[in-house]
Every structure is written in structure tokens, then in C-alpha cells.
Structure 1
Amino acid sequence: MAIKRMDHVGVAVHDLKAAIAFFEELGMEHVGGSPVSGDWVDSVNGLQDVRLEMAMLRTPDGHSQLELMQFENPPASTAEPSAPANTIGYRSVMFAVDDIHDTVARLEPHGGELIGEITQFESIFLLCYLRGPSGVIVALAEELDGKN
């Protein structure tokens, strides 16, 4: 049996409103959200008395979604909120963008910080890692199409 599709990527954040604003500025569409609680969410998370607010955002092409979650109970935690990009586990989600410099500039007022530099990979891409709300790492890629 093969998988049908990748449905979405889920990311826990400390400040849901800030995270929504960050990803909307990136170009994603906020398509819904709700409070979540109950036996089913306790069971699937292996936790007790889970209460969270979630928001779903969709990419402009309509194919990919991001689920942002702010846990009210139990409080979200992390051993290292600013872990480097080579930390084991989920570290980044990459987005293809039209103009990497403009995108970085637009995300800075929303808490976006370059981790390293915007770097050219051969004559194919400009690439960078940007840390956003709650330490989430976003990778950006601009196809060069022979521009540089």
C-alpha cells in the first residue's frame, strides 16, 4: 500500500497569533482554526486534559498545509527553543519564493531572523534559513533561472 499524500505539517508554537501573522506574510492563507480538546486528542497525543488552539494555513498552490498549535494544557515545552538546524528531528519547512531578499525583509518585522546568510547554490538557487516565531526554522529557496 502506498501513501495517498502528505496532508500537513504540524508545528507547536508559543504565540499562535504571531505565528499566523508570520506565515500569512510569507504568503500562506489562513483557512481555519478552532479550539481542540477531548478524549480523542488526549488519546492521540498520549497526554491528559489536552487543550489547544489550532490554525490551518494553506500554500498559494493549494497543495500543502501547515497546522499551527498553541497548547494551553499541558504547557508546551522544549529542551532547546533555539536549537541549531542540525538538531535531530523536525527542524525546518522549505518554501519556494519569487524574491528571497524581499521575503526576508517582509518577515523581519514579524520576528524573522536570518540564521546564516542568503547563499547561492551553483547557478540554481538562492537559499537561506530563517528563524521565525517560537524558534521555528523556515528554509527559503529562490530559483535563479540563469538570473545570476
Structure 2
Amino acid sequence: MGHLLAIGIFAWPATARVLRAEILRVKNADFVMAATAVGVTRFRIMLRHVLPNSIAPVLVITTISLAGAIVAEATLSFLGVGLPSSTMSWGNDISQAQVDLRTNPQTLILPSIALSVTVLSFIMLGEVVRDALDPKARAQR
């Protein structure tokens, strides 16, 4: 449990930095100035205009960071400093499969493939979300 907390503690500042940068960018937009000129409260501007227009990059970074967190957990478990051996973890499975690699190679191959496919899936999900939320990036490719 401690290593999962450590992964979370060290992973959130990058996402927070991106969110802060997006909020600072959006709050200077023309539609925010127009809402202020009409007399909309700052709280309502934040909820209606700033947050919805700045959340897209955070969603993309979160999905891609989730893949990194999965790899970090598997790596820590593989090295023996993560989850205990009795707990289900691809890192533990890969570590335990090293013992009988020559006689039973699928015990190493199957968890490795599952880990790779899962991480690749989260990375691809982040790319799809980015393309869906930012049509300009799709047009540039």
C-alpha cells in the first residue's frame, strides 16, 4: 500500500502543473472577459467557462500517466519492494516466473503480454482522447 501511495504522491504534481497552465491560459480568453463584462460571478465563470475549457489536457495526461503508474507498480513488485508476494501483481508473476523459465516459459510470457497490452491500451486511450478533444492536433498530423 505504501508504494501505491508513493506513486500517487509523486505523479500528481505534473498533472496539477498542466491544469494550472491551462486555467491561466483560458482565464485570459475573450469569452471569459465577455462573461465578466456581463456581470457573471467569478465562481460561475470558473464552473461554466474556465474548467470545461481547461480539463481536456488533464484527461489526456491522466490516461497516459495511469500507464506509467501501472508500469511503476509492476517494476516495484518485480524488484520485491512493491506488493507482497501473496498479492496479485504482474510484477510478482513475472518475478516468480523466472524460476521455471526453461521448463514453463508461458508463466513469464502471459503476464508480460498482459502488462504490455494494458499499458499500450492506456497510452492509445490517451491518444484517442487527445484527438477527440483537440481537433487541431489531428489536423496537423
Q: TM bucket by the smaller chain?
A: under 0.3
Which is higher, the Rg of structure 1 or of structure 2? 2
Q: Which structure: greater strand fraction?
A: 1
TM-score normalised over the length of structure 1: 0.22
TM-score normalised over the length of structure 2: 0.22
Q: Which structure: greater helix fraction?
A: 2
